Structure 1
Amino acid sequence: MDYISTRGKVEKCGFIDAFLMGLANDGGLVIPSEIPQISEDKLKEWQSLSYQDLMLEIFSYYTNDEIPYEDLKKLVYDSYSTFRDPAVTPLKQINEQLYVLELFHGPTFAFKDVALQFMGNLYSYVATRRNEIINILGATSGDTGAAAIQGVRGKEGIRICILHPHQKVSKVQELQMTTVQDDNVLNLSVKGNFDDCQQAIKELFADIEFKQQYHLRAINSINFVRILSQTVYYFYAYFQIAKKQNVGKINFSVPTGNFGNIFSGYLAKQMGLPIGKLILATNENNILERFVKEGIYMPGDFHSTYSPSMDIQIASNFERYLYYLNNKNADKVAEIMNRFRTEGKIEFGPEDLAKVAQDFVAEGVQGQQCLNVISKYDKDYGYLFDPHTACGVAAYETHSGKDEICVVFATAHPAKFNESIALVDIKQQFPAEITQLFDKQQFQTVIDNDKQVLVQQLEQFFA
């Protein structure tokens, strides 16, 4: 398996080099040169596998045996030994049509743990094997930062700096990041929004001299290994249902702001998993909904919402889908992205929009609707959703037919977003690990939204 860039100006490379590159050196995103096809017979074989063994099978199509099998097996099993449920991502049935895949059983109670526990261990493995110092730089709208820090804190040869928007994440998200005291961790709280943080990160990764001088590596969803790790739970969810009943295609409703979690589903579908609809759920920051429904990709006004991890206007993974939408024409992708940088929008014609409609449906869920869903399902089913998952459920109600089975991704434990839960007069019991955070000292540096200030912080930390 070779890895290439969506913009076509990077030489082909292998799995580990693609992992270390993160953002492609031409400013594009790393993708596999071909998407492997999984036969129906192979899918049936995989139904009985544990989560860990399923991941090993899927990764075998992408790693080129660059990691010896026993080493990869140890990385996978070690990564999920920290999860509170032996199934890693247990599936819960709500009613005849609706299932919830709980992705929040990792150390930080959010779906990002599923990929980032593995990626943290993989970075440590590569650092040791290549005798390299690895400096991880990332931006977060809340959950990625905590999961990434938890994945690499205290590990020799690795340092991590995470940017998050100042006072625009939930209190628990902030505490999970900023109560970590390890010397290899730096938290920067930026006076801006997530898009400001992400733009700064992309500019620094695009500065090849700076990137190479400080050995910068990416851990958020611009890194393809994060995308690949997330495909595993699509397969796993499907198999859990298929083992109980005869099913054809299954819908997935996915809360997403950066297009990464749902692009993993697109990848799984292209590999051969029988997915019906990929339902893209977002909030008032609905650039992705407008793209799917209207064929216009253009940032709107920023909104602070009850589901802050989706308070994103520019979706980092959109370019990966753009590559396939344009029939793998890297030159055209580069042209479109350059035009987007100068004009601030991309418009798609009827032919493209028809293709998009075959791949996705979308719903931007408003704040009160999100709260209503939380209240309704708590009352009717005794199941408490976090606000992001509630957006996914609202989108399921709109777009999944009464005779269709749908899996909604529960992307976070409700305790991470009690500010929203409290608005519907529900008192929840916090897990002990979260309760303890409120008594800990915080370690963070608040900075202006200024690239030079950021560079100075990084030069001091990574020196």
Structure 2
Amino acid sequence: MRYCSTRGGVHGWGFRDVLFSGYAPDGGMFMPETIPIVSPATLRSWSSLSYQQLVTEVCSLFIPEDLIPKHDLEALISSALSKFSVPDAVRMVRLKNSLSVLELFHGETLAFKDLSMMCTAHFLEYFLHKEDRRATILVGTSGDTGSSAISSTSGLSRVDVVVVFPRGRITMVQERQMTTHLEDNVHVFAADGSSDDIDVVMRKLFADQELVKCHGLMSLNSVNWSRILVQLVTFLYAYMQLSGVQETEGDELAELEVVVPTGGAGSITAGCIVKQMGVPLRVVAMVNCNDIMHRTVQSGDFSMADSVKQTLAPAIDIQDPYNMERIFWMLSGKDGALVKKMMEQFQMIHRLSLPERLHKEVTLSSGSVSDEGIIEIMVKCWEENQYLVCPHTAVGVWHHYHCPIRPGENRCCLATASPAKFAGAVLKAGLTLDLPEAVRALETKETRFKDLEQGDNWEATLREHMEAVRSARQRGELFYSLAKAS
């Protein structure tokens, strides 16, 4: 299995090199050069596997055995998923009116990203130990990615993790899950801007190949292919649980609709890849009023709005769903030149109308939900089932209630985060919530972070910080004890 860039300038990279990269050197995003087809017989053979076993099987399709032997892969994944709060790391909940919800939030930070982040961190540690080297992880976050990246890498001796979050645009729980980590390898910045503003700086830093090489710079956003790889399993697991695949024969396979609340489009990309692997899925992309994804699907209008609106679902308050580049690449028949032209135009003027032939290939469905709609669904789901959903999950479940499932159809809504992270939205819906002890404890913990003010040169500040950290590591010294002493 080899990997290439969506913009056509890079080919033939291995999984290890892609793992240690952010964006490709040509500015594109890494994808497998070939996507393996999974036969109906294989799907049936997988139908009895646990989630953890399925992660191993899927990852082994994309990670050559000579790179990570399968017994090592099994051990890494087992270790990565060992601390989740339910036995199989995820849980399927069946509610009234044919509503099936796949809970993906049982990791330490109570968000779906823990699943892929923990596996990716274990892959990373495996290679760093094997090669006796260090890496710097640089992450821009709209809420959940940063805390998950920190949780999965805090305390690792060969890794420094630098996270930038949009100050005032995430919940207090999300913020404190980042700022209360005081390990010496954790570096948190609060930026006075949106997550899209942060992404502009991230792209500039990753485009500097000298900087990337000097610091072993890599990303744990869903820019990183490994994150997408593990997210493939979400769709396959849902399919095994709800499609009745084990009862089919020959090439006959039932279809499953998967409803995904989305911001950066990482999960949507994973769903589209699983479709290309031969699994009969209908993927529904649900967004809040930051609706660039919805407009793209409906009319081909891939253009940013004037500003990012703050909503009750802050982790998907995004106007630059960067993983759409991967989807455009797949839909265009891997036309790197076309994707390069399109994305460079989008990055320059933030507006793009999809070519008609490309828009015709879009098979996604989509919808956009207001804050009022989010509250409506949180209340309705509680009244009907005594089941509390977070505002992001409500964005997906809105589709279920407003587009009723037809007899004989199968549907799964992804629950991307615990409602415990969004007490304000729960309160606004007139509902109550018993916060877990781990969440309550965040209120009294010491915090550490640095501000990036509007008008400051964020890029220069981050460069200077990473260089100071690198110098301390080369001297074999702790960074923060030195910083306090000076």
Equivalent of 1:371 in 359, 372, 375: 375
Distance 1:85 1:436 in 2: 21
Contact 1:279 1:399 in 2 (8 A): no
The yes-or-no answer on 1:438 pairing with 2:443 is: yes
1:165-204 equivalences in 2 (<5 Å): 165-204=166-205
Are residues 145 and 43 of structure 1, via their aligned partners in 2, closer, same or farther at CA, if it must alter by over 3 Å? same
In structure 2, the residue matched to 1:150 is: 151
Task: Tell which deviates more after alignment, 220-229 or 64-73.
Answer: 64-73
The yes-or-no answer on 1:394 pairing with 2:398 is: yes
In structure 2, the residue matched to 1:249 is: 255
Equivalent of 1:306 in 299, 304, 312: 312
Secondary structure, counterpart of 2:38 in structure 1: coil
Cα deviation, residue 272, structure 1: 1.6
1:2-81 equivalences in 2 (<5 Å): 2-65=2-65, 66-81=67-82
Distance 1:92 1:322 in 2: 33
In structure 2, the residue matched to 1:122 is: 123
The yes-or-no answer on 1:461 pairing with 2:462 is: no
Secondary structure, counterpart of 1:351 in structure 2: helix
Contact 1:137 1:160 in 2 (8 A): yes
In structure 1, the residue matched to 2:287 is: 282
Cα deviation, residue 74, structure 1: 0.8
Q: Deviations over 1:75-107 (max 9, x none)?
A: 000011010111211100113522000000011
Task: Tell which deviates more after alignment, 363-372 or 8-17.
Answer: 8-17
The yes-or-no answer on 1:137 pairing with 2:138 is: yes
Unaligned 5+ runs, structure 1: none
Distance 1:350 1:27 in 2: 24
Distance 1:180 1:337 in 2: 36
- Residue identity over aligned pairs, in percent, reads 32
Distance 2:200 2:349 in 1: 16
Corresponding letter in the other structure for 2:286:
A
Corresponding letter in the other structure for 2:54:
L
RMSD: 1.4
In structure 2, the residue matched to 1:259 is: 265
Equivalent of 1:333 in 320, 336, 339: 339
Corresponding letter in the other structure for 1:83:
F
Distance 1:94 1:461 in 2: 50
In structure 2, the residue matched to 1:452 is: 460
Cα deviation, residue 401, structure 1: 3.3
Contact 2:7 2:340 in 1 (8 A): yes
The normalised TM-score by structure 1 is 0.97
Equivalent of 1:317 in 323, 326, 332: 323
In structure 2, the residue matched to 1:418 is: 423
Distance 2:48 2:347 in 1: 47
In structure 1, the residue matched to 2:384 is: 380
In structure 2, the residue matched to 1:97 is: 98
Cα deviation, residue 400, structure 1: 5.4
Distance 2:468 2:216 in 1: 14
Task: Tell which deviates more after alignment, 87-96 or 73-82.
Answer: 87-96
Q: Deviations over 1:421-451 (max 9, x none)?
A: 1001111101111111111111111112532
Distance 2:357 2:401 in 1: 28
The normalised TM-score by structure 2 is 0.92
Contact 1:24 1:30 in 2 (8 A): yes
Distance 2:470 2:256 in 1: 46
Secondary structure, counterpart of 1:205 in structure 2: helix
Distance 1:349 1:242 in 2: 35
Corresponding letter in the other structure for 1:15:
F
Cα deviation, residue 396, structure 1: 2.9
